[in-house]
Amino acid sequence: MRNLLVTGGAGFIGCNFVELLLERYPDYRVIVFDKLTYAGRPENLARFRGDARFTFVRGDICDTEAVRSTFREHQIDTLVSFAAETHVDRSIMAPDAFIRTDVFGTYVLLEAMREYQLERGLFVSTDEVYGHIEPGHSSVEDDPMKPRSPYAASKAGAEHLIYAYHITYGLPVLVTRGTNNIGPYQYPEKAVPLFVTNAIDDIPLPLYGDGRQMRDYQYVMDHCEGIDVALHHGAVGEAYNIGSGVETENIVMAHAILDLLGKPHSLIRPVADRPGHDRRYSVRTDKIRALGWQPRHDFAAALERTVRWYAANEAWWRPIKSGEYREFYRQQYQSRLGQA
Ligand code: NAD
Ligand code: TYD
């Protein structure tokens, strides 16, 4: 591996992963390929600009010619793909872009991998492909996929294609299924940065339904380290769960955030639930742990680092919250908060 293409590298997890790659592998060239949707932020990449090993290409993974020319011109030998539409609520409002990017875009990347005979391709997927998990069970990689939101279904569709390309064409591809990430540079539509930034501004935290839904939150750098382990040591044709193993109810998360910021719990505002809301995700991580990975942040450390970062980096999120975000927020929350 020498020339790595990182799609979606201007997004939350992608930019943290680029940081890890440049720190750990002095001889790698990292080419970020990103469409810069609302979620892709050039400022997330600002810290790499002076590094001669780093290149940015603006492009859409659905654009076959742009993908092919990037593979060719940069002599890409390895692909790590983060590029996706990622927010469940947006997928409920407008699924089109999810199906286009997450499914068709994955197909374009697979075709380019085939044409340019890449050594390896890792596609970053999600534990949401398993769907809601009943208490008492934690998903293992061989469990069936039962996605229940347009986002999760698009990611599962992508995974089916990836596996089919491995079987049919022998493509050296693998998949990771991470749980919910928290940490720096997460677009403040996702629950944790939304709650943190609202709390800083003393505005209500919209909590869906009874707030008792569970998520396995992990620190983004732990997830990135797991992706790195899978990339270098995972077996092709396989999927690897990556998660903290710590299950946290949304209401507990909201309380913890407010406590860290010294804000009152009365800021929590129960609102109408998300349609089809998965109540619980939970994964077993024995398979990635057997490759030598383990998380390095416990829940308290992960959340504290996250909250402190948003408190210290208002210059990052305030411009986001004053742009396109306002219209999204109005559509998503105005009637919910009005009814609350
Ligand atoms: P994000 O929304 O912050 O970033 C997505 C990035 O992809 C953005 O930079 C965006 O510009 C880019 N992008 C979108 N459409 C594109 C296209 N057509 N062509 C090129 N670039 C495009 O997402 P994230 O939270 O960093 O998630 C990254 C990946 O990890 C996704 O595949 C997601 O499904 C997966 N994942 C995320 C989480 C999580 O908790 N955030 C957990 C598990 C898996
Ligand atoms: P989110 O960050 O959107 O991640 P995902 O749905 O992909 O797991 O949401 C995390 C949890 O928080 C999920 O159970 C939905 C809930 N949630 C709220 O209660 N209020 C909100 O405003 C948002 C965005 C999410």
Q: Catalytic annotation on 187?
A: no
Asked whether 152 lines ligand 2 (CB < 6 A), one says no
The pTM of the full predicted model, rounded to 2 decimals, is 0.98
Ligand 2 centre distance from Cα of residue 5 (Å): 30
Q: How far apart are CA 257 and CA 304, in angstroms?
A: 8
Residue 134 has what pLDDT?
96
Atom of ligand 2 nearest to the CA of 281: 8
Candidates 132, 197, 274: which one to mutate for ligand 2, based on the most atoms within 8 Å of Cβ?
274
Q: Catalytic annotation on 128?
A: yes
**Sheet hosting strand 3-7, strand order edge to edge:** 54-58, 29-34, 3-7, 78-81, 120-126, 173-178, 239-242
Q: Which protein residue's CA is at the shortest distance from atom 4 of ligand 1? A: 11
Residue 106 has what pLDDT?
99
Q: Are strands 247-249 and 214-216 parallel, antiparallel or unpaired?
A: antiparallel
Candidates 208, 281, 336: which one to mutate for ligand 2, based on the most atoms within 8 Å of Cβ?
208
Ligand 1 environment, Cβ below 6 A: 7-8, 10-14, 34-37, 39-40, 60-62, 82-86, 101, 105, 124, 126, 155, 178, 180-181, 187
Q: Which of 227, 170, 218 is nearest to 6 (CA)?
A: 227
Residue 167 has what pLDDT?
98
Given a cut of 50, the residues of the chain with pLDDT beneath it are none
Residue 323 has what pLDDT?
83
List Cα–Cα distances, 42 to 49, 58, 129, 240, in angstroms.
10, 10, 29, 30
Asked whether 215 lines ligand 2 (CB < 6 A), one says yes
Q: Are strands 3-7 and 29-34 parallel, antiparallel or unpaired?
A: parallel
**Burial environment of residue 124 by CB neighbours within 10 A (0 to 12, 13 to 18, 19 or more):** buried
Ligand 1 centre distance from Cα of residue 264 (Å): 32
Atom of ligand 2 nearest to the CA of 274: 15
Cα 273 to chain centroid, rounded: 22
Residue 338 has what pLDDT?
87
Ligand found nearest the CA of 7 = 1
Amino acid at 264: P
Asked whether 328 lines ligand 2 (CB < 6 A), one says no
Residue 1 has what pLDDT?
77
Q: Please tell me which residue in 34, 85, 89, 127 is annotated as part of the active site.
A: 127
Q: Which protein residue's CA is at the shortest distance from atom 11 of ligand 2? A: 191
Q: How far apart are CA 219 and CA 247, in angstroms?
A: 13
Ligand found nearest the CA of 99 = 1
Q: Catalytic annotation on 151?
A: yes
Question: All domains of the chain, ordered by start, with CATH?
Answer: 3-181+218-242 (3.40.50.720)
